[in-house]
A and B are shown apart, each in its own frame.
Chain A
Amino acid sequence: MPTTMTYREAVRAALAEALRSDERVLLMGEDVGRYGGAFACSRGLLEEFGPERVRDTPLSEATFVGAGIGAALGGMRPIVEIMTCNFALLALDQIVNHAAIMRHMSGGQFSVPLVIRMASGGGRRVAAQHSNSFEGWFARLPGVTVLAPATVQDARTMLRGALREPDPVLIFEHILLYPVQGEVDEQADTDIRRAAVRRPGRDVSLITYGGSLPKTLAAAEQLAAEGIEAEVIDLRCLRPLDTELFLDSVRRTHRAVVVDEAWYTGSLAAEISALIMERAFYDLDAPVARVCSAEVPLPYAGHLEDAALPQAAAIERTVKEMMAGHG
């Protein structure tokens, strides 16, 4: 029975379900308890589950992420919240040099079943230290799974799959998605590693994830009004990539545009572009195009921020140019 809720409520319901269904689960991070979470994703959880399992931490990202690693090694299933992915840089050592590699470096003896959630992305006028999209950096790490729930449904049910993973899972929640409303089937149990076709189409494959999905879908609607049927693919899982799904799409449409809010250079979009070049080059009718963020620290002023981020209009324009050039 589908119910309607916001993305934020979906995250909260997912956390509550995790805490309720497995006594090994604990939630910790900055202001997750009494404050209710910087994005209000954990409001009410302290009251329901108590301070042992919903833990406010000091502003010590490296240490509370490392404590999550240790707790996971010690038999718990911690969920660590980092307020934004910019702050995750303070914990990069623990994620990169410890969590991601411990299983391999220990010869398979120590798995780290740790889930780390963090907000990412721009568009809220919070300037250059709170607006980045670093998920592509983390998606380069062997040993981790990286998720980017883009729909309310995925916000509600992907955590369940993440907690079943025996190794570290990083979940990126785009800040613009929190107020988005959607219908949710709370019992749905999808494979977190599968990408999804959010809109079928025959003319071009638009490959995206996270906060760029609504913009890409909006662009696809505009294009449809002009007779261009775009297929929109939501990657959902950024590592490992569901490569076959988007390659199949590209082989059918013969065109691909990758939409990624990170900077162009060395981005996930660049990786996807390379994969298409390596494995579907002869199916292409046009070079792969990318719509990413301008190579600039995200400015505060609204018109500049808008200009720096991928927007529906730019996606639309890119597709039209592609269709015109190689139609």
Chain B
Amino acid sequence: MSAPEATHRPGQALLSGLPREALLERLREMLRIRRFEERCAELYTQGKIHGFLHLCIGEEAVAVGAMRALRPEDNVVSTYREHGHALARGISAAAVMAEMFGKANGCSRGRGGSMHLFDAQHRFFGGHAIVGGGLPIAVGLALAARMRQEARVTCCFFGDGAVAEGVFHESLNLAALWRLPVLFLCENNLYAMGTHITRHQSQIDIARKAAAYGLPGQAVDGMAVLEVEEAARAAVAAVRAGEGPRLLEARTYRFRAHSMYDPELYRSREEVAQWKQRDPIDLLAGALRQADLLDDAALAQLEGEVAAEIDLAVAAAEAGPWEPVQDLLKDVHSPRFA
């Protein structure tokens, strides 16, 4: 599977329909994720961030486009490559960065790290690093919303690798059977760690798998933020209207290694370079320039805002306190009800 053609642009409606400020905001959000993660990679080499660090650089359009389709009361369930989802959902860069550092002011109080970002206020239910493990939980969140007659949609992110897990199939089946308000959002970056989709799927058209469970599935260019947003908005509207779950497959690509340990022996530099031609940030910036909505000064201003925010986030993480060791066992259990 190669990069999708850049000619067809269903996102055009948003491009022409949204005010300039809103379009720049989407560009800013993608830049924010990109620069945040670039800083994370630096901090990793400096020994400030440890363990696994999975960067979503190249996939920012999916996070930003999808989150724009959600409301604050909706639920988000994510994966271990979730920095972009967390930031796009509105969790502060400082809280995410402090979590990377393992500090007590991190969004999971230093208990989770890069792979386990949680935030109750933003209804961000993790950060799950067992591939596919979040899907059943999303189904349950949707069940609760339905039974409590809440208008929430649950958006569940997962990668193409998860599609090979049994719980993917079980979860689509159960959500469709019970017509639950879930948007299953597959970020297909073509690789399950280092295994190309043609080497782990008998049917590489993931969106088509939805048909087996009787729910609509659709694929979208995951490098085009406005296309992702448009498709996500349509899917979320249908889900919210009670039409049952939807599967949306965003075809994207990870520009960086799987994790900081990955020597990338499984793909060629040419392939990566080819996909970088379709960098989601460049695509939107290019479209905005073409429409006379962006110039160098405006882009520099966005970059400056983003850099300032990340500087503050790193400072907050550096200054943040460590959880006292005597609190090691805290939160294994909740305080018991009397």
Residues in B neighbouring A64, C-beta threshold 8 A:
136, 174
Q: Which of A69-77, A130-138, A262-270, A304-312 contacts B (4 or more CB under 8 A)?
A: A69-77
Residue B324, interface by CB 8 Å: no
What class of interface size applies to chain B in its complex with A?
Answer: 35 or more
Residue of B nearest to A107 (CB): B109
Residue A187, interface by CB 8 Å: no
A67 touches B333 (CB 8 A): no
A107 touches B136 (CB 8 A): no
Residue B336, interface by CB 8 Å: yes
Residue B119, interface by CB 8 Å: yes
Residue A97, interface by CB 8 Å: yes
Q: Count chain A residues whose beta carbon lies closer than 8 angstroms to a beta carbon of B.
A: 43
| B93-109 CB contacts (< 8 Å) to partner A | 106-109
Cα A68 to Cα B136 in complex, Å, equals 8
Residues in B neighbouring A298, C-beta threshold 8 A:
none
Interface of A toward B, CB cutoff 8 Å: 26, 52-53, 55, 57-58, 60, 62-76, 78, 93-94, 97-98, 102-111, 142-143, 164-167
B174 touches A70 (CB 8 A): no
Query: Known interface pairs A60-B173, A75-B148, A98-B128. Does A69 touch B330 (Cβ–Cβ under 8 Å)?
Result: no
User: Which of B140, B171, B178 has the most chain A CB within a 10 Å cutoff?
Assistant: B140
Q: What distance in Å separates the Cβ of B150 from its nearest Cβ neighbour in chain A? A: 8
Residue of A nearest to B115 (CB): A105
| B38-53 CB contacts (< 8 Å) to partner A | none
| Contact bitstring B85-124, A, C-beta under 8 A = 1, else 0 | 0000000000000000000001111111000101110000
B126 touches A107 (CB 8 A): no
B143 touches A105 (CB 8 A): no
Cα A110 to Cα B336 in complex, Å, equals 14
A-B contact pairs, 11 of them (CB 8 A): A63-B171, A66-B133, A69-B136, A70-B125, A71-B147, A74-B144, A75-B144, A94-B137, A103-B333, A105-B111, A105-B112
Q: What distance in Å separates the Cβ of A113 from its nearest Cβ neighbour in chain B? A: 8
Residues in B neighbouring A106, C-beta threshold 8 A:
108, 111-112, 116, 118, 120, 126-127
B133 touches A94 (CB 8 A): yes
